[in-house]
Structure 1
Amino acid sequence: MTIDSNRLLLEFEKLRREINHNVLSPALPELSLTNLQPLITLVAGARRDYLTCLLDLAEHSKGQPPSAEQISQLKARRETFDELVSAANALETAIQRDYLKVRVNRRD
């Protein structure tokens, strides 16, 4: 990669960080462990629901394939879980890239 390409990429990253910070930061509260805890709990609950549904399905299958209704229920739980994980990952990326204001002390 050329020096000019490296410079462009550095400036691109700087511009991306600045624009994302200016757009996201005013719209979202300052983040702390206290206000992230409900989000983590929500994702964990969705994971629990998805896995519980799978285990219940297996326990009651008696060697038979699941019904269309059972698959539909499992799929709905997976979609919920996947969507929440994607959103949590997007938030994590925004934090890592300094797009958001954060409070680091554990005593909110």
Structure 2
Amino acid sequence: MKNRLLLELEGLRKDINRTIINPLVPELALNDLEPIITMVACARANYVKALIDLAADVKDAAPSLEQAKELQDRRMVFEELVDAMNALETVIQREYMDVITKPKPNANQG
């Protein structure tokens, strides 16, 4: 009985999410995700580079509050983008939106 309820709950959750999300988000193909993945990678690189630069700058001392704030800001950007990407992956995995399994035709092809 409990398993049946959970299955029905999962179906209801999928239906509601799909009804709300699918009309708002265009169909996505793998090539549509590349700019998003690139953006997340750039934020990760900026965060890690800021840490390495900070260590080189302060050497054996602690960073200033201003320096720590800069690192914190870069982490916040990176973590926000990772969370958003994870949410998008969940939407795709749970089929809350339509996805294109074949690449979109290139405008130059035809």
TM superposition score category, shorter chain reference: over 0.9
Identify unmatched segments of 5+ residues in structure 1: none
Which AA in structure 2 matches 1:29? P
Q: CA deviation at 1:107?
A: 4.8
Q: Which runs of 4+ in 1 moved over 2 A?
A: none
TM-superposition CA deviations, 1:21-58 (whole Å, max 9, x none): 11100000001112111111111111011001000001
Aligned residues: 105
Partner residue of 1:22 out of 19, 27, 34: 19
Q: Distance in 2 between matches of 1:87 and 1:47?
A: 14
Identity of matched residues, %: 50
Letter matched to residue 89 of structure 1: N
State how far apart, in whole Å, the 2-side matches of 1:31 and 1:59 are: 42
Higher helix share: 1
Could you say which residue in structure 2 is the equivalent of 1:81?
78
TM-score when scaled to structure 2? 0.92
1:5 aligns with 2:7: no
1:52 aligns with 2:49: yes
User: Which one of the candidate residues 68, 72, 86 is aligned to 1:71?
Assistant: 68
Query: Quick check: 2:29–2:104 contact (8 Å CA) kept in 1?
Result: no
TM-score (norm: length of structure 1): 0.93
Gap regions ≥5 residues in structure 2: 106-110
Aligned-partner Cα distance in 1 for 2:3–2:59: 60
For residues 5 and 107 of structure 1, the distance between their equivalents in structure 2, rounded to whole angstroms, comes to: 42
Q: For 1:105 and 1:35, how far apart are their aligned partners in 2?
A: 12
Question: Match for 2:75: what amino acid?
Answer: R
Show CA shifts across 1:51-75 (max 9, x none): 0100000111121111111100000
Cα deviation for residue 105 of structure 1 reads 1.5
